Amino acid sequence: MIHKKENVTDLPLVLDEKDMGILKLLQVDAKMTIRNIASQLNLTTTPVYERIRKMEQAGVIKQYAAIVDPQKIDKGLTVLCYISLKEHSKKCGAKFIREIVAFTEVTECLNISGEFDFLIKVQVKDMNAYREFYVNKLGEVDNLSHTQSIFVISVIKATHQMVY
């Protein structure tokens, strides 16, 4: 996690080509050194250093993270679960969100358009683990109207890369 200075501005930082070049590289390899980045962008370390610092403080770079392979840590099953609520009041929605977000199995929760209210992505070991989650965790959440589970047969692509 980025440790911002006290006076975080989060001002709408305008990014130019050089910033994008830096992001492009750091997105793929966060451990790339400033020197290396500088040489690839035909710059020196100073501007690269300062641009990275700015992007960290502006929240453009949210985090430096190790990406773990789910398959290798017994979390090889991904399930998408659609959820509709009974009550849509602000209060009830907030309560639902608080409960859902707390589940470590839920790696994603999206408020969506269409027939359902939410889509959550659940990451578990296998079908047994999903049943366990579905019955004992999701099943204990208030205010659920109906749900639908979609199973992921295979992950074709999954990236956080957004700068090209």
Partner DNA sequence: CCTGAAACTTAAATCCG
Partner DNA sequence: CGGATTTAAGTTTCAGG
Binding site for DNA (CB under 7 A): 18, 33-36, 38, 42-47, 49-51, 53
Q: 81, 122 in Cβ contact below 8 A? A: yes
Q: Which DSSP string do the residues of 22-48 spell out, in sequence order?
A: HHHHHHH-TT--HHHHHHHTT--HHHH
Q: Nearest distance from residue 6's CB to a copy of itself, in Å?
A: 19
Q: 54, 8 in Cβ contact below 8 A? A: no
Q: Which is nearer to a copy of itself, 42 or 113 (CB)?
A: 113
Q: Which two tokens stand for residue 135?
A: 């019955």
* Residue 80 burial class via C-beta count within 10 angstroms: exposed 0-12, middle 13-18, buried 19 and up: middle
Tell me, by CB under 8 A, how many residues bind a copy of itself. 61
Residue 123's nearest CA partner among 96, 146, 152 is 152
Given DNA, a copy of itself, none, residue 44, with its beta carbon under 5 to 8 Å by kind, binds: DNA
Give the span between the Cα atoms of 38 and 141, in whole angstroms.
51
Q: Which is nearer to DNA, 46 or 89 (CB)?
A: 46
Please identify, among the stretches 41-49, 62-70, 83-91, 135-143, the one whose residues bind a copy of itself according to the rule CB under 8 A: 62-70
68 binds a copy of itself (CB under 8 A): yes
Given DNA, a copy of itself, none, residue 47, with its beta carbon under 5 to 8 Å by kind, binds: DNA
Angle between helix 45-57 and helix 17-28 axes, rounded to 10 deg? 80
Query: From the centroid of its chain, how far is CA 35?
Result: 29
Q: Nearest distance from residue 44's CB to a copy of itself, in Å?
A: 21
Q: Nearest distance from residue 36's CB to a copy of itself, in Å?
A: 13
Contact residues: a copy of itself, CB under 8 A: 1, 12-13, 15, 20, 23, 26-31, 58-70, 72-73, 75, 78, 80, 97, 100-101, 104, 106-114, 118-119, 123, 150-164
